[in-house]
Amino acid sequence: MSSRNAILAAVKRNQPAALPLPEKEYTSARKGDIEKFSATLEGIGGKAYMLKEGEDVLAVISTIFPEARRVVSVDESMEIHYLKEHLTIVHHSLQDVDVAIINAQFGVAENGAIWVTEDDLKIRVLPFICEHLVAILDVNTIVPTMHEAYNRIGSAEYGFGVFIAGPSKTADIEQSLVLGAHGPKSMTVLIKSL
């Protein structure tokens, strides 16, 4: 027996007995926990805004970003800003997007993240190349933990998916926090309760 096989056999003989998995109740958050989601998102540099019944999303965005010149959306219902040419557009032409509006499939209360796939984004680079990211989230889709989030996406089919939690940030240099270093400077989640 080679020394490699002897070591592997010794490791195999000395493995601890299997233990049951711990209970998955790691957080006090619950399904649809808007308070926990909002507090966590704001703690990591994002902003949460609860849409009132009948409130116009574009009017809210105009109020939050009055200086925005180029606003694009992947939601066809926002016709004035809808990115119709998403199948043929040269991605570098999005370099001057001030505000990008996307729809989130669901949010996670414990870390303030949203989940999106390429079907939601139309263009993968869109949430990372814009100056300000706005995501629209249904309050009823907020799950308490990442465990439930992974249970939800584990059997789903998608080519590309990503959790986005707050604006881009880094503190690599002298531990000075910089927002928007590699992506959007801000992330606002508009939460609707339909």
Return the exposure string of 46-74: e unless at least 16 CB atoms fall within 10 Å of the residue's CB, then b: bbbbebeeeeebeebbeebbeeeeebbbb
Quick check: 25 pLDDT over 80?
no
Average pLDDT over all residues of the chain: 89
Quick check: 18 pLDDT over 90?
no
In order of their start, the domains of the chain are: 30-192 (3.40.50.10420)
What count of other Cβ atoms lies within 10 Å of the Cβ of residue 126? 24
Place of tokens 């309760």: 193
pLDDT digits (tens, 9 = 90+) for 117-127: 999 998 999 99
Quick check: 21 pLDDT over 90?
no
State residue 112's pLDDT score: 95
pLDDT digits (tens, 9 = 90+) for 126-185: 999 999 999 999 999 999 999 899 999 988 888 999 999 988 888 777 778 787 778 899
d(CA 85, CA 8): 56
d(CA 65, CA 69): 9
pLDDT digits (tens, 9 = 90+) for 84-109: 887 788 888 899 999 999 999 999 99
First-residue to last-residue Cα distance in the chain: 66
pTM score of the predicted model: 0.82
Quick check: 24 pLDDT over 70?
no
